[in-house]
Amino acid sequence: MNNISLLPPEIKLYKQSRQKMMNYSFAFIIGLMVLLIIYFVLIFANVQANSELNKLKKDRATLDSEIQVLGKYEDLQQQVIFVNQTFEKIMNNVPDWDDLLVNIGLNIPDGVWLTDMTATQSKSKTKNEDEGEGEGKSTTGGDLLVRGLAINNSLIASWLDEIQKISHVQNANISFASKRVVDNQNVIQFEIKASITPGEYEIPFSKGVSQ
């Protein structure tokens, strides 16, 4: 059987129009919901990005502060390096007079008396500089002159052997020896000359510093 609608055409058109409006409304709601979801996702992503940005700003501020502190330490290290280099430049050319004189004094034999001791700074030139073949290299050391009296020559020779064994002493020799009478006693008046090489000094701030 065929269904025969007895509704007027106006009502049928109204129902069809209403159905279309409902379909459009449903599609609009679905689209609006999608847009809202996208909007909230973007807001959340923006909040996350701002949070990360603020964290990076704090990390950058902390890093800048540490760099400033390290910069101060670097300036201090440069000052220490300069002091070490200056100390090394000066002291590497200076004999260790204190250690030298103590060693000489400890080795004086009985029957020998010192009357005078003179220590002077000296500057020697390398072969090239002496022969005029160039500027060469100058090294600083010292000269030592010891004067004294001894009972006999053997004591002087024995003491000279001990002096020659002392570190940084070179070319030690008896430059003068002569008999004389002191307090009605025959003695030997003598002079010993020696060249002294630069001593070894510990750099004051060498630990933990890279030059």
Query: What span, in angstroms and rounded, lies between the C-alpha atoms of 203 and 191?
Result: 35
SS3 content of the chain, % helix, strand, coil (to 5): 50, 25, 25
Q: Among all chains, which residue has been given the structure tokens 């003179």?
A: 118
At residue 135, the pLDDT reads: 45
% pLDDT > 70, the chain: 73
Query: What span, in angstroms and rounded, lies between the C-alpha atoms of 147 and 101?
Result: 14
Asked if 163 contacts 104 with a C-beta cutoff of 8 angstroms, the reply is yes
The CA R_g of the chain, rounded to the nearest whole Å, is: 50
150 pLDDT band (50/70/90 cuts)? very high
Beta bridge partners of 135: none
184 pLDDT band (50/70/90 cuts)? confident
Whose CA is closest to 148, among 119, 175, 117, 172?
A: 117
Whose CA is closest to 142, among 190, 104, 183, 185?
A: 104
Average the pLDDT over each of 49-58, 85-94, 147-156 and give the range with the smallest value.
85-94
The pTM of this model reads: 0.48
